[in-house]
Amino acid sequence: MKKRIIDDHTIKVFVTRDDLKRNGITALDLLGDHNQIERFFYKILDQVDTQHLFTDHEPLTFRVIPDKLGLNIIIS
């Protein structure tokens, strides 16, 4: 997994297929169970938000852009 901080409100994360597998999820799972997807996204956020830019009381968006090697996730 690679992260890049875009600004104070946006983090871009690249999650490889191996990262997905380690988390017990596939790209197709992202089309299914809402609770599983939410847990996965927040787990990713916990791993990459080391500077605690995002707080629990602020609304978040997760944009997922599929890539042949994995997923680009933009968290804002």
Query: What is the reported pLDDT for 15?
Result: 92
| Average pLDDT over every residue of 62-72 | 90
| Average pLDDT over every residue of 32-41 | 82
Q: Is pLDDT of 55 > 70?
A: no
Query: What is the reported pLDDT for 67?
Result: 85
| Average pLDDT over every residue of 13-17 | 92
Give the domain extent around 54. Answer: 2-75
Range name among 21-25, 26-30, 35-39 with the lowest pLDDT average: 26-30
| Average pLDDT over every residue of 9-27 | 87
How far apart are alpha carbons 4 and 6 in whole angstroms? 6
Structural domain total, the chain = 1
Q: Which residues face 74 on adjacent strands?
A: 12, 63
